[in-house]
C-alpha cells in the first residue's frame, strides 16, 4: 500500500542562543491513505515540530516529507489542523467559523453550497441548532467539535491534530473519541494525532508511533488490533487485548523517558 504521508529520514535542530537544539533525528513514519496514526512520546521530544513539518510550516534540516506523492516545501492548503485550544473567531457564528477554510480554499464555491457543507458536518457532530451561536456560548467540548468540523470542511488530504482533546474533562473527551470514529466512518480521512493519552492512542489509532526522547527517533510502532468488529466501542479498552497493548506502550514510554522497567512516571 502506498503511503499518503511519508516522512523519510527527517532530522531537524532549532537554532537557539545557546546553539542548535536537535529535536528530530532520522525520523521515519509512513501513514497509508485513510489511516489514523497516533503519535506519543515524552514531553518536549518534538511531536509538535513533526506536525509543523507535515503541514509545510517549516522545512527540515535533512530528510523529506511527502504528502500525496508530492514533496512538501511550503504550507499546504490540503492539510486540516486542530489544536488543544480550538481558536474559533468570536466575531463569527459557529457556522461561519466552520465555513472559513472554504472561503480560503474554494473562494468560487457558492455561499449556499458552503453553508450546506458546514451544516452537514455540524449535524454529524451533534451541533445542529448551534449554527448561529458565538463560540463563547458553547461548552469546551462543543467548541472542539466545531473546530474539528472546521478542520475537515474543505476535505483536506490529511487532518493533523495536536492534543485536541487534552483540555477536556474525561467524559467529554470519550464522547469526542466516539465522534471521531463516527466522522471517519462517514467522511474517511487520513489523520495524525499527537497525544499524551495512551488509551486515546489505542482507541483512535490504526497505528501508534512511539517517539524516543529528544532528539526524537521512531522508537516503536504498534499496529493496533482493536478488539471487536465494526465501529470501535469504548468497552474494547477494558479487554485483556487492550490492556496488553497499553502495557506495551507504557513500557515503551518508560524506555523513551530513559526510565528503568517498572519505574513510575509513564502515562
Ligand atoms: N521555534 C522554536 N525555537 C527553538 N526551540 C523550539 C522551538 N519550538 C520548539 N522548540 C523546542 O524544541 C523541543 C521540541 O518541541 P515540541 O513542541 O516539538 O515538543 P513536543 O513533543 O510537542 O512537546 P510537548 O509534549 O511538551 O507538547 C522543545 O524543547 C522546545 O522547547
pLDDT score, position 77: 78
Distance in Å, CA 48 to ligand 1 centroid: 7
Q: Which of 16, 63, 44, 79 is nearest to 213 (CA)?
A: 44
User: Would you say the CB of residue 217 lies under 6 angstroms from ligand 1?
Assistant: no
Partners of residue 221 on adjacent β-strands: 209
Query: How far apart are the C-alpha atoms of 38 and 193, rounded to whole Å?
Result: 5
> Which atom of ligand 1 is found nearest the CA of 44?
23
Distance in Å, CA 199 to ligand 1 centroid: 23
pLDDT score, position 104: 87
pLDDT score, position 81: 84
State the cell numbers at 175. 464522547
Q: Which of 112, 10, 110, 143 is nearest to 66 (CA)?
A: 10
pTM for the model stands at 0.91
Asked whether the beta carbons of 39 and 47 are under 8 A apart, the reply is yes
Distance in Å, CA 163 to ligand 1 centroid: 14
In the chain, where are the structural domains located? 35-56+77-257
Task: Give the mutation target among 21, 61, 214 for probing the ligand 1 site: most ligand atoms within 8 A of CB.
Answer: 21
Q: What is the per-residue burial (b if ≥16 Cβ within 10 Å, else e) of 34-59?
A: ebbbbbbbbeebbbebbbbbbbbeee
Query: How far apart are the C-alpha atoms of 226 and 206, rounded to whole Å?
Result: 8
pLDDT score, position 207: 97
Domain 35-56+77-257 bears CATH identifier 3.20.20.20: no
From first to last of its 267 residues, what are the pLDDT tens digits of the chain? 579 999 999 999 999 999 999 999 999 999 999 999 999 999 988 889 999 999 899 999 999 999 988 899 888 878 888 877 878 999 999 999 999 999 988 889 999 999 999 999 999 888 999 999 999 999 988 998 999 999 999 888 899 999 988 888 888 889 889 989 988 998 888 999 999 999 999 999 999 999 999 999 999 999 999 999 889 999 999 999 999 999 999 999 999 988 655 555 544
pLDDT score, position 1: 58
Distance in Å, CA 23 to ligand 1 centroid: 8
For ligand 1, atom 30, name the residue with the nearest CA.
44
For ligand 1, atom 29, name the residue with the nearest CA.
44
User: Would you say the CB of residue 49 lies under 6 angstroms from ligand 1?
Assistant: yes
Amino acid at each position: 500500500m502506498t503511503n499518503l504521508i511519508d516522512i523519510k529520514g527527517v532530522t531537524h535542530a532549532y537554532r537557539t542562543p545557546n546553539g542548535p537544539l536537535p529535536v528530530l533525528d532520522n525520523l521515519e513514519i509512513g501513514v497509508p491513505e485513510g489511516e489514523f496514526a497516533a503519535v506519543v512520546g515524552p514531553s518536549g521530544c518534538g511531536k509538535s515540530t513533526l506536525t509543523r513539518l507535515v503541514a509545510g510550516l517549516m522545512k527540515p534540516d535533512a530528510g523529506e516529507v511527502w504528502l500525496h506523492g508530492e514533496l512538501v516545501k511550503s504550507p499546504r492548503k490540503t492539510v486540516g489542523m486542530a489544536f488543544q485550544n480550538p481558536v474559533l473567531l468570536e466575531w463569527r457564528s459557529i457556522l461561519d467559523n466552520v465555513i472559513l477554510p472554504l472561503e480560503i480554499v474554494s473562494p468560487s464555491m457558492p455561499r449556499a453550497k458552503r453553508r450546506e457543507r458546514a451544516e452537514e458536518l455540524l449535524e454529524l457532530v451533534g451541533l445542529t441548532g448551534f449554527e448561529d451561536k458565538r463560540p463563547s456560548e458553547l461548552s469546551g467540548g462543543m467548541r472542539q467539535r466545531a473546530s474539528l468540523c472546521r478542520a475537515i470542511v474543505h476535505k483536506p488530504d490529511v487532518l493533523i491534530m495536536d492534543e485536541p482533546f487534552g483540555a477536556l474533562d474525561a467524559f467529554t473527551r470519550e464522547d469526542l473519541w466516539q465522534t471521531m470514529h463516527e466522522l471517519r466512518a462517514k467522511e474517511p480521512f487520513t489523520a495524525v494525532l499527537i497525544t499524551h493519552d495512551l488509551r486515546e492512542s489505542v482507541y483512535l489509532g490504526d497505528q501508534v508511533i512511539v517517539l524516543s526522547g529528544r532528539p526524537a527517533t521512531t522508537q516503536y510502532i504498534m499496529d493496533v488490533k482493536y478488539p471487536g468488529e465494526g465501529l470501535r466501542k469504548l468497552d474494547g479498552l477494558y479487554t485483556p487485548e487492550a490492556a496488553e497493548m497499553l502495557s506495551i506502550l507504557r513500557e515503551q514510554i518508560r524506555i523513551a523517558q530513559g526510565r528503568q522497567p517498572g519505574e513510575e512516571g509513564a502515562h
